Amino acid sequence: MEIMQIVGAGLVSALLALTLKKHAPEFSLAISICAGIFIFIMLLPKLFLALETLQTLSDSIDGNLTYVSLVFKVVGIAYISEFGAQLCTDAGQGAIAYKIELAGKIMIMVVSFPVLFALLELLQGMLS
């Protein structure tokens, strides 16, 4: 049960951070960041599993699903940017967190252009 490990680690680090906050605030911040990274790493295999399942599912269709890998890219960008933004919020740097989120949004938009163009081209091709 990985969820137990994750929740346990989260609770322990939360308690640690709480007790250290008064005496050494910078250490409490380090602890919360470490806990975040730990959870992130724990989650990665599961995320890959989900993506793999999607890949096998998409392979079973005749149609052109070359763009599915693009979705994975987008999911990765969203995941990482959100993670970074939350760490920054934890550190009390809301402005930086917002900027990271913005960067993530723009990145996703840029990455998703090809698929949007492909869709428009497809519809255009049908009309002619």
Partner 1 sequence: MKKAGFILLAFYLLITGCRQAYGQEISDQLDMFDFQEINQAMNEGLEQKIDIGELATQAIQGKLDLSPGNILDSIVKTLFKELYSNGKLIGNLLVVGFLSALLKNLTDSFKTKGAGEVGFYVCYIVLVMLLFSSFQLAVDIGKNLISLLAKIMAASIPLLLGLLAFSGNVSGAYVLHPALIFAVNGVTVIIRDVLFPLIIFGAIIRLINNLSDKDMLARLADFFKMAIGWALKGLLFLFITILSLQRISSPLLNQLTLKTAKFTIGSIPMVGDLLSGTMDTVLYWSLTIKNGVLVASIIGLIMVCGLPLFKLAAIFICFKITAGLLQPICDERMIKAIDGVGDFAALLLWATITVAAMFLFAFMIVLSFRGG
For binding to partner 1 (CB under 8 A), which residues are involved? 50, 53-54, 57-58, 60-65, 67-68, 70-71, 74-75, 77-79, 81-82, 101, 104-105, 108-109, 111-112, 115-116, 118-119, 122-123, 126-127
Contacts of 24 (CB under 8 A, 6+ apart): none
Of 65 and 91, nearer to partner 1 (C-beta) is 65
* Cβ proximity to partner 1, 31 vs 88, nearer residue: 88
Instruction: Give dist(CA 44, CA 52) in Å, integer.
Output: 12
The C-alpha atoms of residue 75 and residue 38 are separated, in whole angstroms, by: 19
Residue 52 token pair: 């793999």
Decide: 70 and 111 in contact? Cβ < 8 Å: yes
Nearest-approach distance from CB 26 to partner 1, in angstroms: 28
Residue among 31 and 104 whose Cβ is closer to partner 1: 104
